């Protein structure tokens, strides 16, 4: 393969890359001009459909298909842009928003044109003040340059973009949780149906897209669907739409050079670590890696050759590609620490709406606290196993996918590192690890 | 007709019924457990207790294709060809896990919990829970705190069904309750300084499936399994909410709404629920007294009946029927009003029949769901008016009678009361002073009773059988739950004795008689079903003929008996 030329991150190393003039100098806003002058909304949807662009937010739903679900004759459609990037170790949206906000805005404009939305909301997470400032500045520049507002470029297309800051909750990244939060309510994900495409924000048809997904759209318009499909991994399974296009991979954890790189989909985890992350730090060996954010599960060192495309991680028992944020852990990391951290995160972030998720995540977190503190029993692992199998949208027991994200670290850790967990329990609780009876009240462990 | 298969059993439902799977399964005799769903509130599908397996059956081939996931029965519409499986291992495992999860943070303090005995968690755990308890982590505990004058919260018992929150947002419309914090720390709470004090706040205690929200008024008063429930009708305003009074050993412990889609749906107001102290007021009239030589003398009932006749008939016979006013209070039941009117016209056919004073306080208060507390604070104006219209030659209202008293046209009066609140002031009562004879039948002393020649004690609606016609013309029957106070007689018995009828007054028989005599009541020939009969429009929203349960009791026995409560269109969010 020829040397890959980054497109999404092409501008970020330029000085003042976040300004309109720099973006324009690099050929920015040509795509929206082309779309407004030569393409109809239907053409745009078809183009994106033809490119097989899949959502970069985690679920990987085909973007063009999502756009085509909107009712054709709806008078009001809203576009919600999901910039609530809260998946641990994920920071590609932040880089896009901070260093190339106009690219994002252009994508939003094309998306709105294609879906006939005249209002877009960008839901930025609270912890991204710089991204918020830069986006705000970029929107002001666009209004000044006539790229936003009424009758853009004389095309009759109107668009207003509003920035909305979240209040630091992981659940607001779930699309209906985001909509609820945007409406000023508690971010409890909605029951589906109705799907947002039929009834979303303010009870109007709504399309929710990730920042990175939309950032891809101008390039598809400029370079065509075939260019997009020339990258990535074609699918052999007719049910799988394949993984095409460039993807921003975040590499963090125990590597020498944590970074965000743009690569065609399908690069292996090992290549990411060795070539782009500079290898595992301090000359140690890698033990495991999270393939795409905490909720996707775990790859063991042996599975590092898994290609990170939409289908790859699933083949080795992970939940999926997720946000493609790889977190590497070296050989000194204990699986108990990892699992405790994962369980605590999801227990903290569970919105508390569905009983299985609310109680399952909190129970697993408390069990992990107990195991970590040396009072674990082998029976606890059975309970963890049963929790991991009981919660999630896949078995249907919860409304949203947060519980699946909570279940997968448990499933993978128990499946791939069970021996280590058992060993830890036996070592730290030599007298009681075989205990089957309920532990007595355990008042001393009430710190949950 | 749409055909639905529930656990292999096929049932048919109407095409336009819009049932969800819980309701449809209930028709098939299968009860699906649930916490968060309530037929009167929006669907959130968050408790995940009602998850079932569903699929569709191809009409032509008979082939069934199942959905691989579990789906919430409350959110799934029952359509033609829907297949529901409620007893598969997958469904059972989920019910198991949900129960187990809820009990993680639950203190299991049933011995001191007011809800014990009518707690859904208790009932469901026996039916759907694990036998052994795997959870051995320290549960979270909290103290009782008061969210409002009538509502106490035990946060540790909460299952986060959010019914109460939705109630305050969708029914009462005040939205005082909310969920604070996140995940397993989430709790129900109010904003500081904004307690839940709306006029329907008591309902949140009813709809709480567990012991998290308890009625402060009823707290620790009585174990629920000692209580006996009697169907009643609220007399606090002309909405006429269907209620249930819960009684033990002749003591009224609480009043709860009873589902009636024609009157009050599932709700009732706090006034009807809590403001019934007059029933046990120490000053209740408890024996017949007669004024002799400017002093009150007690009288036994047989003599009292004769004295009534002496007092009222003398006026009518001496001066003519129109000079005697017989006042039918809007607190009398239809049967009693009928007997009293019959008695009045039996003396002389032109006796003046008067509709008693209609207490009106403020304006009608309409809540978000449409539930209305009416300004007219009496239960039976419609019924009494119809009877007065039927029997009276010149029917009068209260003010018309006062005018005629002032002109001296009316020389004697037999006034019935029954008002729970003070209803007549001294100035108004003074107008009756110069009457030749004044007989007052009431439950509480009043300025009027002080001026009477003869005072007969009556009883409240809790102590008598009878039917009441609400503002919309809906007739509902109430049963007695308490024995008459002290030496009081049921008003109907008094009137029956006056008419010279033998034996014990039986409201049901009198209602039949009334239905035959007065055309307005013709539909009551076969009695009144629990959901009432609309005598004006002649049609009810849901012609219910079976005994209704209360919405707060989900035990399987209740479900099979009172399943009709479920068949109501469910609003969606």
Say what the pLDDT of residue A52 is. 92
CA distance A41 to A224: 16
**Does A352 sit within 8 Å of B138, measured CB to CB?**
no
Query: Which residues neighbour B409 within 8 Å (Cβ) at sequence distance 6 or greater?
Result: B322, B323
pLDDT confidence of B517, banded at 50, 70, 90? very high
**Does B184 sit within 8 Å of A358, measured CB to CB?**
yes
Across chain B, mean pLDDT equals 89
**Does A354 sit within 8 Å of B51, measured CB to CB?**
no
pLDDT per residue as tens digits for the range B434-444: 999 999 999 99
Length of chain B equals 573
* Smallest Cα distance from B173 to chain A, Å: 16
* Smallest Cα distance from A397 to chain B, Å: 6
* Chain B residues lying within 8 Å of A347, measured CB to CB: 183-184
SS3 of B7-73 = CCEEEEECCCCCCEHHHHHHHCCCCCCCCCCCCCCCCCCCCCCCEEEEEEECCCCCCEEEEEEEEEC
Q: Which residues pair with B265 in a beta bridge?
A: B260
Which whole number is the average pLDDT over A389-408? 94
* Chain A residues lying within 8 Å of B51, measured CB to CB: 396-397
Residue B558 has pLDDT above 70, yes or no: no
* Chain B residues lying within 8 Å of A400, measured CB to CB: none
Across chain A, mean pLDDT equals 92
Q: B183 at the A interface (CB within 8 A)? A: yes
Say what the pLDDT of residue A438 is. 63
User: φ, ψ for residue B90 (rounded to 5)?
Assistant: -65, -45
* Chain A residues lying within 8 Å of B185, measured CB to CB: 352
**Does A188 sit within 8 Å of B184, measured CB to CB?**
no
Domains and CATH numbers, chain A: 20-230 (3.40.50.11540), 243-330 (3.10.20.600), 335-445 (1.20.1440.230)
* Smallest Cα distance from B44 to chain A, Å: 7
* Entry pTM: 0.91
pLDDT per residue as tens digits for the range B240-271: 999 999 999 999 999 999 888 889 889 999 99
pLDDT per residue as tens digits for the range B187-202: 999 999 999 999 999 9
Query: Which residues neighbour A233 within 8 Å (Cβ) at sequence distance 6 or greater?
Result: A242, A243, A244, A265, A266, A307, A309, A311, A312
B102 & B225 share domain = yes
Question: CB of B41 within 8 A of CB of B22?
Answer: no
pLDDT confidence of B31, banded at 50, 70, 90? confident
Residue B543 has pLDDT above 50, yes or no: no
Query: Which residues neighbour B434 within 8 Å (Cβ) at sequence distance 6 or greater?
Result: none
* Chain B residues lying within 8 Å of A438, measured CB to CB: 133-136
* A297 phi-psi bin (left φ>0, alpha ψ -120 to 50, beta other): left
Residue B287 lies inside a defined structural domain of this protein: no
pLDDT per residue as tens digits for the range B328-348: 999 999 999 999 999 999 999
Say what the pLDDT of residue B15 is. 77
Q: B134 at the A interface (CB within 8 A)? A: yes
CA distances B256 to A124, B15, B28, B253, Å, are: 48, 34, 28, 10
B181 & B58 share domain = no
Say what the pLDDT of residue B134 is. 82
Question: CB of B423 within 8 A of CB of B336?
Answer: no
State what percent of residues in chain B have pLDDT above 90: 74
Residue B563 has pLDDT above 50, yes or no: no
Residue B564 lies inside a defined structural domain of this protein: no
Residue B570 lies inside a defined structural domain of this protein: no
Of B418, B399, B503, B508, the C-alpha closest to B460 is B418
Length of chain A equals 448
**Does B105 sit within 8 Å of A354, measured CB to CB?**
no
Nearest to B138 among A169, A348, A441 (CB): A441
Count Cβ atoms within 10 A of the Cβ of residue A195 and give its class: 0-12 exposed, 13-18 middle, 19 or more buried.
middle
Q: Which residue of A has its CA nearest to B105?
A: A359
Which whole number is the average pLDDT over B340-361? 94
B412 & B476 share domain = yes
B303 & B271 share domain = no
Question: CB of A343 within 8 A of CB of A327?
Answer: no
* Chain A residues lying within 8 Å of B66, measured CB to CB: none
Which whole number is the average pLDDT over A350-369? 94
CA distances A117 to A38, A152, A384, B65, B161, Å, are: 18, 13, 45, 37, 36
The pair of three-digit structure tokens given for residue B422, joined into one six-digit string: 């003070």
Say what the pLDDT of residue A5 is. 87
Which whole number is the average pLDDT over B153-182? 94
Of B266, B232, B262, B267, the C-alpha closest to B247 is B232
Question: CB of B471 within 8 A of CB of B376?
Answer: yes
Nearest to B69 among A169, A350, A395 (CB): A395
Residue B205 lies inside a defined structural domain of this protein: yes
Query: ω into residue A193 within 30 of 0, thus cis?
Result: yes
User: φ, ψ for residue A230 (rounded to 5)?
Assistant: -75, -15
* Chain A residues lying within 8 Å of B159, measured CB to CB: 355
Q: B170 at the A interface (CB within 8 A)? A: no
* Smallest Cα distance from B47 to chain A, Å: 5
Residue B565 lies inside a defined structural domain of this protein: no
Question: CB of A46 within 8 A of CB of A221?
Answer: no
* Smallest Cα distance from B193 to chain A, Å: 21
Question: CB of B12 within 8 A of CB of B1?
Answer: yes
Q: Which residues pair with A247 in a beta bridge?
A: A263
Q: B102 at the A interface (CB within 8 A)? A: yes
Crossing angle (nearest 10°) for helices B334-347 and B301-319:
50
Question: CB of A157 within 8 A of CB of A151?
Answer: yes
Q: B440 at the A interface (CB within 8 A)? A: no
pLDDT per residue as tens digits for the range A255-314: 999 999 999 999 999 999 999 999 999 999 999 999 989 999 999 999 999 999 999 899
CA distance A175 to A156: 30
B69 & B157 share domain = no
The pair of three-digit structure tokens given for residue B95, joined into one six-digit string: 């019910």
Scanning A69-207, the segments in alpha helix (DSSP H) are: 92-99, 101-115, 129-144, 175-182
HSE-up (13 A, CA, CB side) for residue B474: 25
Question: CB of A201 within 8 A of CB of A190?
Answer: no
CA distance A76 to A151: 17
Residue A441 has pLDDT above 60, yes or no: no
**Does A395 sit within 8 Å of B94, measured CB to CB?**
yes
Q: B3 at the A interface (CB within 8 A)? A: no
Say what the pLDDT of residue A192 is. 87
- A127-A133-A139-A143 Cα dihedral, nearest 10 degrees: 150
Query: Which residues neighbour A287 within 8 Å (Cβ) at sequence distance 6 or greater?
Result: A300, A301, A329, A330, A331, A332, A333
CA distance B273 to B53: 41
* Smallest Cα distance from B113 to chain A, Å: 21
B330 & B466 share domain = yes
**C-beta neighbour count of B140 within 10 angstroms:** 17
pLDDT per residue as tens digits for the range A328-346: 999 999 999 999 999 999 9
B379 & B505 share domain = yes
* Smallest Cα distance from B367 to chain A, Å: 22
* Chain B residues lying within 8 Å of A351, measured CB to CB: 182-183
User: φ, ψ for residue B447 (rounded to 5)?
Assistant: -55, -30
pLDDT confidence of B412, banded at 50, 70, 90? very high
Probe site for chain A from B21, B43, B48, B120 (most A CB atoms < 10 A): B48
Q: Which residues pair with B55 in a beta bridge?
A: B66, B83
**Does A396 sit within 8 Å of B137, measured CB to CB?**
no
b/e for B3-32, b at 16 or more Cβ within 10 A?
ebbbeeeebebeeeebbbbbbbbbbbebbb
Say what the pLDDT of residue B413 is. 95
Q: Which residues pair with A253 in a beta bridge?
A: A328
CA distance A42 to A68: 9
* Chain A residues lying within 8 Å of B184, measured CB to CB: 347, 350, 352, 358-359, 361-362
Query: Can you spell out the DSSP letters for B452-507?
Result: -SEEEE---GGGS-EEEE-TTSEEEEE---SPPSTT---HHHHHHHHTT--S---H
CA distance A265 to B204: 54
**C-beta neighbour count of B80 within 10 angstroms:** 14
B405 & B332 share domain = yes
B67 & B27 share domain = yes
Q: Which residue of A has its CA nearest to B188?
A: A352
* Smallest Cα distance from A394 to chain B, Å: 7
End-to-end CA distance of chain A: 52
Q: Which of the 8 DSSP states describes residue A374?
A: I
**Does B186 sit within 8 Å of A169, measured CB to CB?**
no
Probe site for chain B from A174, A176, A346, A352 (most B CB atoms < 10 A): A352
Residue B567 lies inside a defined structural domain of this protein: no
**Does A359 sit within 8 Å of B104, measured CB to CB?**
yes
Q: Which residues pair with B457 in a beta bridge?
A: B442
**Does A390 sit within 8 Å of B97, measured CB to CB?**
yes
- Could you list the residue range(s) of the whole structural domain that residue B109 is in? 98-281+547-551
Count Cβ atoms within 10 A of the Cβ of residue A167 and give its class: 0-12 exposed, 13-18 middle, 19 or more buried.
exposed
Residue B14 lies inside a defined structural domain of this protein: yes
pLDDT per residue as tens digits for the range A209-259: 999 999 999 999 999 999 999 998 888 888 888 899 999 999 999 999 999
Of A156, A186, A140, the C-alpha closest to A20 is A140
pLDDT per residue as tens digits for the range B282-294: 999 989 999 999 8
b/e for A124-151, b at 16 or more Cβ within 10 A?
bbeebeebbebbeebbebbeeeebbeee
**C-beta neighbour count of A258 within 10 angstroms:** 19
CA distance B138 to B107: 9
Of B68, B87, B106, which one is at a domain's C-terminal end?
Answer: B87
- Chain A residues within 8 Å of chain B (Cβ atoms): 169, 186, 188, 190-191, 347-356, 358-363, 366-367, 370, 383, 386, 390, 393-399, 438-439, 441-443, 445-446, 448
Query: Can you spell out the DSSP letters for B127-153?
Result: HHS-SS----SPPP----EESSSSEEE
* Chain A residues lying within 8 Å of B125, measured CB to CB: none
Pairwise pLDDT comparison (B141 vs B333), residue with the higher score = B333
Q: Which residue of B has its CA nearest to A440?
A: B136
B184 & B331 share domain = no
The pair of three-digit structure tokens given for residue A422, joined into one six-digit string: 């058992």
B156 & B57 share domain = no
Q: B179 at the A interface (CB within 8 A)? A: yes
pLDDT per residue as tens digits for the range B43-83: 999 999 999 999 999 888 888 999 999 999 999 999 899 99
Residue B42 sits in a domain whose CATH number is: 3.10.20.740
Helices and strands, counts by H and E, chain B: 15, 25
Scanning B283-370, the segments in alpha helix (DSSP H) are: 301-319, 334-347
Which whole number is the average pLDDT over A377-382? 92
Residue B479 sits in a domain whose CATH number is: 3.40.50.740
Q: B47 at the A interface (CB within 8 A)? A: yes
Angle (CA) B499 B504 B506, round 5°: 90
Residue B556 lies inside a defined structural domain of this protein: no
Q: How many domains does chain B contain in total? A: 3
B329 & B305 share domain = yes
């Amino acid at each position: 393969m020829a040397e890959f030329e980054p497109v999404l991150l092409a501008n970020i190393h330029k000085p003042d890359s976040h300004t309109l003039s720099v973006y324009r100098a690099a050929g920015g806003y040509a795509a929206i001009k082309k779309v407004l002058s030569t393409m109809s909304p239907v053409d745009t949807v078809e183009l994106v459909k033809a490119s097989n662009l899949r959502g970069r937010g985690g679920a990987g739903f085909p973007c063009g298909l999502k756009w085509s679900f909107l009712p054709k004759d709806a008078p009001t459609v809203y576009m919600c842009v999901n910039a609530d990037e809260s998946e641990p170790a994920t920071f590609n949206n932040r880089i896009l928003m901070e260093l190339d906000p106009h690219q994002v805005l252009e994508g939003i404009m094309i998306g709105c044109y294609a879906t006939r939305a005249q209002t877009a909301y960008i839901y930025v997470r609270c912890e991204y003040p710089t991204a918020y400032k830069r986006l705000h500045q970029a929107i002001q520049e666009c209004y000044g340059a006539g790229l936003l507002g009424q009758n853009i470029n004389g095309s009759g297309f109107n668009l207003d973009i509003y920035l909305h800051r979240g209040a630091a909750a992981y659940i607001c990244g779930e699309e209906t949780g985001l909509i609820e939060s945007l409406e000023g309510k508690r971010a409890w994900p909605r029951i589906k149906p109705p799907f947002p495409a039929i009834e979303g924000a303010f009870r109007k048809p709504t399309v929710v897209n990730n920042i990175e997904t939309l950032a891809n759209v101008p390039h598809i318009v400029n370079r065509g669907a075939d260019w997009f499909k020339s990258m990535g991994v074609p699918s052999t399974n007719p049910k799988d739409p394949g993984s095409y296009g460039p993807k921003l991979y975040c590499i963090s954890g125990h590597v020498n050079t944590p970074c965000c790189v743009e690569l065609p989909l399908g690069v292996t985890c090992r290549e990411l670590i060795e070539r782009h992350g500079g290898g595992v730090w301090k000359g140690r060996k890698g033990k495991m890696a999270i393939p795409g954010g905490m909720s996707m599960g775990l790859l063991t060192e042996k599975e590092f050759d898994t290609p990170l495309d939409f289908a790859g991680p699933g083949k080795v028992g992970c939940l999926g590609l997720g946000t493609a944020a790889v977190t590497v852990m070296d050989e000194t990391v204990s699986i108990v620490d990892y699992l405790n951290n994962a369980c605590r995160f999801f227990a903290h972030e569970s919105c508390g709406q569905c009983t299985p998720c609310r109680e399952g995540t909190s129970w697993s977190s408390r069990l992990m606290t107990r195991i970590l503190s040396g009072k674990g029993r082998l029976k606890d692992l059975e309970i963890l196993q049963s929790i991991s199998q009981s919660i999630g949208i896949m078995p249907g027991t919860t409304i949203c996918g947060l519980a699946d994200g909570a279940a997968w670290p448990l499933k993978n850790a128990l499946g791939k590192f069970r021996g280590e967990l058992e060993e830890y329990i036996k070592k730290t609780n030599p007298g009681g690890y075989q205990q089957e009876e309920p532990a007595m009240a355990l008042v001393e462990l009430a710190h949950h | 007709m749409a055909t639905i298969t529930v656990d292999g059993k096929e049932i048919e439902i109407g095409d336009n019924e819009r049932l969800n799977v819980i309701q449809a399964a209930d028709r098939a005799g299968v009860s699906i457990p649930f916490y968060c769903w309530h037929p009167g509130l929006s669907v959130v599908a968050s408790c995940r207790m009602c998850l079932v397996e569903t699929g569709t059956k191809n009409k032509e081939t008979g082939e069934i294709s199942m959905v691989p996931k579990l789906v919430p029965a409350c959110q799934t519409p029952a359509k033609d060809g829907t297949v529901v499986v409620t007893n598969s291992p997958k469904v059972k495992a989920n019910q198991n896990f949900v129960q187990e999860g809820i009990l993680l943070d639950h203190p299991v303090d049933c011995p001191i919990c007011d809800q014990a005995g009518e707690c859904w968690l208790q009932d469901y755990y026996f039916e759907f829970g694990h036998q052994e308890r795997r959870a051995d982590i320290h549960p979270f505990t909290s103290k009782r705190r008061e969210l409002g004058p009538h509502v106490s919260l035990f946060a540790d018992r909460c299952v986060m069904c959010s019914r109460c929150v939705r109630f305050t947002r969708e029914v009462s419309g005040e939205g005082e309750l909310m969920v604070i914090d996140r995940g397993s720390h989430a709790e129900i709470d109010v904003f500081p300084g904004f307690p839940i004090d709306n006029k329907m706040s008591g309902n949140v205690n009813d709809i709480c499936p567990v012991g998290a929200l308890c009625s402060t008024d009823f707290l620790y008063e009585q174990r629920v399994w000692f209580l006996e429930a009697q169907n009643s009708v609220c007399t606090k305003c002309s909405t006429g909410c269907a209620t249930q009074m819960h009684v033990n050993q002749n003591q009224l412990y609480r009043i709860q709404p009873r589902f009636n889609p024609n009157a009050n749906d599932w709700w009732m107001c706090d006034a009807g629920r809590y403001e019934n102290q007059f029933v046990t007021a120490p000053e209740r009239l408890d024996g017949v007294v007669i004024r002799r030589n400017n002093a009150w003398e007690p009288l036994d009932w047989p003599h009292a009946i004769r004295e009534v006749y002496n007092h009222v008939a003398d006026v009518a016979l001496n001066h003519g029927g129109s000079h005697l006013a017989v006042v039918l209070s809007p607190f009398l039941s239809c049967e009693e009003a009928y007997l009293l009117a019959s008695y009045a016209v039996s003396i002389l056919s032109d006796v003046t029949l008067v509709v008693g004073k209609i207490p009106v306080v403020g304006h009608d208060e309409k809540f978000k769901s449409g539930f209305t507390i009416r300004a007219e604070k009496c239960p039976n104006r419609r019924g009494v008016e119809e009877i007065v219209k039927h029997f009276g030659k010149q029917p009068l209202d209260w003010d018309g009678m006062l005018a005629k008293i002032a002109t001296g046209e009316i020389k004697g009066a037999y006034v019935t009361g029954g008002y729970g609140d003070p209803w007549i002031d001294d100035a108004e009562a003074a107008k009756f002073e110069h009457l030749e004879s004044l007989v007052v039948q009431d439950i509480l002393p009043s300025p009027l009773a002080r001026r009477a020649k003869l005072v007969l004690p009556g009883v409240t609606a809790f102590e008598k059988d009878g039917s009441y016609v609400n503002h919309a013309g809906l007739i509902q029957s109430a049963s007695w739950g308490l024995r008459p106070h002290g030496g009081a007689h049921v008003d109907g018995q008094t009137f029956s004795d006056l008419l010279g009828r033998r034996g014990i007054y039986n409201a049901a028989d009198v209602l039949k008689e009334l239905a035959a005599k007065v055309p307005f009541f013709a539909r009551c020939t076969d009695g009144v079903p629990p959901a009432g009969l609309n005598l004006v429009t002649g049609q009810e929203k849901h012609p219910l003929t079976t005994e209704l349960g209360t919405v707060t009791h989900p035990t399987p026995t209740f479900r099979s008996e009172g399943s009709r409560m479920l068949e109501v269109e469910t609003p969606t969010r």
